[in-house]
Structure 1
């Protein structure tokens, strides 16, 4: 039996970490992915909030799988020093929370700018991020977010191989690939598997881009988890349900989060994978 470690974006449940942690424990997760707490994004945490969150984690007996930073979710031609300083602060938080993973992105481009015109700048900025991560002994997880440079498999591979750092790896998101017209497993798995470090769990329908629980969309999640099982992959699978109606899909709430957790548990159990 293959075992994976279950985690999840706590702020999809509630702003209050106590509620986040209670629901995560209830669905069987041993870890949390920290993006915000008390309504404050991790990039804006201070020492007091970090201490409070660390205490809540210790009391609940939940560890941190990754810090889900917003680094790189900015204009590619913005101030590089400012974004590097934000990453430095997030890495400090990550280490204080006893994690080694920081999620980030590969930058948006201004309207009318071709993605190819941003490549050199993206690679230069990601190389600076990787240099810092290497020094600090953390691992950066690039997420294939819509409309960043690395939103499709070929460009994800380009930036990972071109930066060429052991501190820059892939956070794989099936739903985000679907939303940019990619068949995740068919079009990207073989290409990116050597660099795949972390699994972010959500699914989506290709017809309208709507996010749905794992296995209910066109994200080829069953094929993905089965192939990972066969490859002997073990690591974090982090629930990011995005099931809320309205303008902020990330405000999933406890009930929706439970629905997402049950769907993924059924999918992985059917593939012979145990979540812990």
Structure 2
């Protein structure tokens, strides 16, 4: 069996039909939903979500994952730095968070996916919260199990859990939690090595592929997967050896020519993952 290639329609804009049509052109049969119609998926109405599902169904496409913003937040009194939360608040009262967990599971049900991304709290100095011991995580994992959904933790640099040792600690503690491995983020954190991927691989259930080159001002210039500094030639064979069947989702962040970046990235992944991707 082969792994699959996944495309996020909002890379091409807020009309999901545009990205879905590109997926058809590229022979990509699976979608990741994050935002559409100018809103984060969690705050879209049920009618809008059903519209996304209808557009996908009409094209024979399946939603592979909901890229939710759960836990990419801090308390209202904390002040986050520059964070891209894709249209969702970064400051969320503690007593309002379970509602968003429930909403994410409901959204996943409408879209027809059994994978939901989570983060690990924004890192905000002394106000930083602990993810591993958060009672909401226990609640969410139980609710997800009842709903037939897997919660998958992404390694995100602006959040608290980004390095392999930290990831392994929380994944071993919470066996119902899987890993949404972003290889570009792993490299950015200084752990883009075959050894790190081999240690994390048994827990990986979903992969984000993005690439970049450093700019002179210290920021990143995002490019198509395979065109930047992330050492995919070293990482992908190791991941495939341990986990031969995975979804690989393109997250280019390329603003100027997103269609070209997705096209190049899809071709790269299909050639770079041993055995290819559907």
Q: Fold conserved (TM > 0.5)?
A: yes
* Cα distance, 1:81 vs structure 2: 3.2
Alpha-carbon distance in structure 2 between the residues aligned to 1:261 and 1:24: 10
Mapped pair 1:15 → 2:29 = no
Matches within 5 A, 1:183-194: 183-186=192-195, 188-194=196-202
What is the 5 A alignment of 1:261-272? 261-268=266-273, 271=274
Aligned to 1:248: none
Residue in structure 2 matched with residue 148 of structure 1 by the alignment? 159
Task: Give the aligned length.
Answer: 260
TM-score normalised according to structure 2 size: 0.85
1:64 equivalent to 2:63? Answer: yes
CA distance in 1, matches of 2:252, 2:172: 29
Distance, in Å, in 2 between the alignment partners of 1:204 and 1:158 is 28
| RMSD, aligned α-carbons | 2.2
Cα deviation, residue 23, structure 1? 0.5
Kept in 2: contact 1:205–1:212 (CA 8 A):
yes
Larger mean Cα displacement after TM superposition, 89-98 or 225-234: 225-234
Does 2:105 align with 1:101? no
Q: Which residue of 2 aligns with 1:172?
A: 181
Cα deviation 1:180-200 (Å, max 9, x = unaligned): 2222433x2132122111111
Contact 1:200 1:237 in 2 (8 A): yes
Change over 3 Å in CA distance of 1:262–1:103 after alignment to 2? same
- Structure 2, gaps ≥5 residues long: 79-91
Structure 1 residue 217 corresponds to structure 2 residue 228: yes
- Superposed CA deviations along residues 244-275 of structure 1, whole A, max 9, x for unmatched, are 26xxxxxx63233223223323323xx3x222
User: Is the Cα–Cα contact under 8 Å of residues 75 and 108 in structure 1 kept in the other structure?
Assistant: yes
Shift of 1:121: 6.7
